[in-house]
Amino acid sequence: MKLYEVILLTLPVKFLNLVISVIPAYFIWNWIIPDIFSLPEIGLFQMAGLVILIQCITSSGFISVNTD
């Protein structure tokens, strides 16, 4: 399978994963964090950016290429 085919097949899965992870994190953040740490409430796009940033820091990337 070619690289562009892999990218086209994984993009919808990544997008669905992002949507599924952003919505609960958004509600939990706005419910708990402002009261505990006196931080402001954030919007959905800000939470999406935060989730993407965390995924980039903690994962090896969007596409893992097997070099064995």
Q: Is residue 27 part of a domain?
A: yes
Q: Is residue 39 part of a domain?
A: yes
Model pLDDT for residues 20-68, shown as the tens digit of each residue: 999 999 999 999 999 999 999 999 999 999 998 888 888 765 566 665 5
Closest-CA residue to 41 (of 51, 26, 53, 52)? 26
Please tell me the predicted confidence (pLDDT) of residue 41: 95
**From the CB of residue 27, how many other CB atoms can be counted at a distance below 10 Å?**
11
Is-above-0.75 flag for pTM? no
Q: Is residue 23 part of a domain?
A: yes
Please tell me the predicted confidence (pLDDT) of residue 65: 62
Q: Is residue 63 part of a domain?
A: no
Q: Which tokens is 35 given?
A: 């009261």
Euclidean distance between CA atoms 18 and 13, whole angstroms: 9
Q: How many domains does the chain have?
A: 1
